[in-house]
Structure 1
Amino acid sequence: MAYISYEHNDIRGVGEVDGDTLIPLQGIDAIGRTSSLEALAGADRLTQERLPISDVRVLPAVTDPARVICVGLNYRDHIAETGREFPTYPVMFPKYASSLIGAYDDIAVPPESAEVDYEGEMAVVIGRTGRRITEESALDHVLGYTVANDITMRDFQYRTHQWMQGKAWDAATPLGPRIVCPGEVDLASCGIRTVVNGEKVQESDLSQLLFTVPNLIATISTFTALEPGDVILTGTPGGVGYRRKPQLLLKPGDYVSVEIDGVGSVSNRLVAEVL
């Protein structure tokens, strides 16, 4: 099972994916704090109002998250390319709901940054509230998985030891297109890759995560309750543009996509931000 957040005729909703169509869920207009696993499972399926996915605007997979928590330095090859020590505790920083855009929306390049970079990532969407969740029960709290591109302004990121100012820009984090439920995908066998202007620049698989999904959920829920719709970005593989020689930084006119086997892909054009 998979879900899509969408807009059709100026009305927003959530649909269950059925092939190349979606079936609207009655009474569910957003993935967020009120869209628990139980609420989604129990919602009436409006089969007579089925829509072709090609006819809707695909919104960010989650449109109303209370929390967007990102994890850095979580793939072994990415840690190696940065020259850092392997962390013994997850490196985390926040984003905001305002940073999220749809899987096919344009990414606005701000005039303040000359070092815009890509980071293909797998994102976890929480489906059940919990605090101090154990690793053993962590996956019981997962609604599903989706694809993200943690677009990063490196010249802002490295101004301080804290990274938020390079990571939380408005309208700069594609997320989607679908939320794929855990029973539909085996994360251990999923490849992840990023392509810029037709060139593959990142490729790895989710088995290379240093801190696993259950570990991240247990760690984060120690200090904050997790709620339905919360999003955890799990880190990026090696191959980021900033660490390449020569560097490969993004600019208006570029196209960047991130794909995860069995989960989906985001594909976005970069455009100059209109002030």
Structure 2
Amino acid sequence: MRLIAYTENGRRHIGAVTDGKVAPVAPLDEFYADAAAALRTEPGPPALLLADLEQVPPVPETARVFCVGINYHSHAGESKTLAGLDVPRVPMVFGRWASTLVTGGTPVPVPPNEPGLDWEVELAAVIGTRAWNVSPQDASAHVLGYTAFNDLSARRKQLETAQFTVGKNADRSGPIGPVLVTADEISPAALRVRTRVNGEVMQDGNTRDLIHDVGKIISYISDTVTLLPGDVIATGTPGGIGAGRDPQVFLRPGDVVEVEVEGIGTVRNPIVDRSEIEAP
């Protein structure tokens, strides 16, 4: 099933998408209270037009976003050069706030003291059931589904210190979507992931190149932090980031960035000057 979230009468809902039409499934909070039960109930015939809906990120506003750094072999060399970081022995996890998540089409502003934003295509897993101290082998049972994620990064802030938090939480810097594909319909093991900037391919990788797979990441986090329904696990990006190029290339106002994950789809966002938006 391919799911989206949308607002109706001020409330967020989950719907199932088929051929540009959406069948309501449940209010978003009720859906994540028992996603398995919600998915067992067959949605009615599609009654809404996807193009008419105001989409929102398909996770609760209280979701935690766990991102994994240096998790593709093809990205390891770039990270060593940029930040002096070696290949992590265990998943290198940092956090994002759910308030940074946006959907495709949302304009993303460049912070005023950055040379631009950098792109990072990622496969993201969304947790469906509470996960505490699970093994890598059992972790997949807790995954609701998978989506595409663009971990847009303010590199100046990210690399000024050893802490990534500020540089990884710029306003509107977490495009996610375009759909959440349930885990019964897709495997994370060998998916092509790509980034295009103004139509030019900048990243072209495959999840076969992951250093730590989804199961290991979930297991590593869950013996310390209980993962809850709606939490997001962003699994890292392949080589080809803008900061790793010579000369470096960053997203500037007027650019359009697209990230694509095989079997899921493409998230496309325009980059704008901060003056073009009123609020985060």
Does the pair score TM above 0.5?
yes
In the alignment, does 2:56 pair up with 1:55? no
Range 34-43 or range 249-258, more displaced = 34-43
2:35 maps to which residue? 37
Aligned residues: 272
TM-superposed deviation, 1:104: 2.1
Residue 131 of structure 2 aligns to a residue in which SS?
A: coil
Whole-angstrom CA distance in 2 between matches of 1:6 and 1:272: 27
- Among all aligned residue pairs of Structure 1 and Structure 2, give the percentage whose two residues are the same amino acid: 37
Is the CA contact (8 Å cut-off) linking 1:7 and 1:57 kept in structure 2?
Answer: yes
1:3 maps to which residue? 3
Range 198-207 or range 108-117, more displaced = 108-117
In the alignment, does 2:13 pair up with 1:13? yes
TM-superposed deviation, 1:187: 2.3
Q: Within 5 Å, give how 1:56-75 maps onto structure 2.
A: 56-75=53-72
Unaligned runs of 5+ in 1: none
Is the CA contact (8 Å cut-off) linking 1:130 and 1:227 kept in structure 2?
Answer: yes
Q: Which amino acid aligns with 1:72?
A: G
In the alignment, does 2:203 pair up with 1:202? yes
Is the CA contact (8 Å cut-off) linking 2:13 and 2:28 kept in structure 1?
Answer: yes
Whole-angstrom CA distance in 1 between matches of 2:86 and 2:110: 31
Mark the CA change 1:252 to 1:258 in structure 2 (over 3 Å): closer, same or farther: same
Q: Within 5 Å, give how 1:126-141 maps onto structure 2.
A: 126-141=127-142
TM-superposed deviation, 1:10: 5.1
Range 177-186 or range 262-271, more displaced = 177-186
Whole-angstrom CA distance in 1 between matches of 2:163 and 2:100: 18
Residue 270 of structure 2 aligns to a residue in which SS?
A: strand
Is the CA contact (8 Å cut-off) linking 2:117 and 2:154 kept in structure 1?
Answer: yes
Whole-angstrom CA distance in 2 between matches of 1:122 and 1:31: 25
Is the CA contact (8 Å cut-off) linking 1:115 and 1:250 kept in structure 2?
Answer: yes
The TM-score, its normalising length taken from structure 2, stands at 0.91
Deviation string for 1:190-236 (max 9, x for gaps)? 10000001110000111111000000000010110001000011000
Is the CA contact (8 Å cut-off) linking 1:31 and 1:65 kept in structure 2?
Answer: no
2:95 maps to which residue? 94
Is the CA contact (8 Å cut-off) linking 1:146 and 1:263 kept in structure 2?
Answer: yes
The TM-score, its normalising length taken from structure 1, stands at 0.93
TM-superposed deviation, 1:265: 1.2
